Amino acid sequence: MSEPIKVATINDIDEEEAIVIDDDVTGYGAPIAIFHTEDDEFYALDDTCTHAVASLADGWMEGNEVECPMHAGKFCLKTGKVLCMPAVEDVKTHKLEIRGEDIYLYPGTPAEVEA
């Protein structure tokens, strides 16, 4: 498991918005997007769509889904699973931990998904 990195506070990301954490901060090798849902949940995914090179943080959020701004492929924020074409490959998730007001990211460690 990677070491956690403080990347933001919960007030840094408006509901239904996302921020991008560059790979020079995380050492992961690719940018990671942190999403804040309307249900006040936070999720982290690789920022780049698996179908085409587009930032998922620039996409549209609805509930626990994000839609790629380029070709409308959708992904589950909780699991990274593809929800519709043209994307066919899941996007990687990353573990987040909220400590008080602070958001800690574990780059490269998959999110723990409750069954």
Least Cα distance to 70 among 86, 92, 89, 46 occurs for 86
**Domain segments of the chain as ranges:** 5-106
pLDDT of residue 10: 97
pLDDT 10s digits, 38-70: 999 999 999 999 998 899 999 999 999 999 999
pLDDT of residue 93: 98
The CATH homologous superfamily to which domain 5-106 belongs is Rieske [2Fe-2S] iron-sulphur domain (2.102.10.10)
Question: Which stretches of the chain score pLDDT less than 70?
Answer: 1, 114-115
Least Cα distance to 81 among 72, 70, 92 occurs for 92
The torsion defined by the Cα of 26, 32, 38 and 39, in degrees rounded to 10, comes to -60
pLDDT of residue 53: 87
pLDDT of residue 114: 66
Q: What is the Cα–Cα distance from 8 to 82, expressed in whole angstroms?
A: 27
